[in-house]
Amino acid sequence: MAKTSAAALPADLTFESAMQQLDALVRQLELGQGSLDEAITNYEKGSALRTFCEQQLKNAELRISQIATAPDGTVTEESFQDTKSQTSR
């Protein structure tokens, strides 16, 4: 069996699409469908999707936290650097 990298996700993957794929993989794993090799591959892909989603949520949290109240009470907005571009997949 040729082993492919389950962690290789498309560059244009969106959070919503990743969540849909992750949901489908979880349902398959819960139902016990497929062979052991398929289950392991799906688990690895699901792990990569989970990591991707967590990173997207962290990016959103960082972006939101950069619109904050300064110590003097004024609302400030700092430039946001996307950490996705810093993390290669």
Burial class (CB in 10 A: 0-12, 13-18, 19+), 86: exposed
28, 34 Cβ separation under 8 angstroms: yes
Task: Please tell me the total count of domains within the chain.
Answer: 1
- pTM score, whole prediction: 0.65
In a domain, 42, yes or no: yes
In a domain, 5, yes or no: no
Question: Residue 21 is encoded by which pair of tokens?
Answer: 């794929």
- Domain limits for position 76: 15-86
Question: Residue 12 is encoded by which pair of tokens?
Answer: 């244009």
In a domain, 8, yes or no: no
In a domain, 66, yes or no: yes
What pLDDT, in 10s, does the model give residues 41-64?
999 999 999 999 999 999 988 877
Residues, the chain:
89
Mean residue pLDDT across the chain: 80
In a domain, 76, yes or no: yes
In a domain, 10, yes or no: no
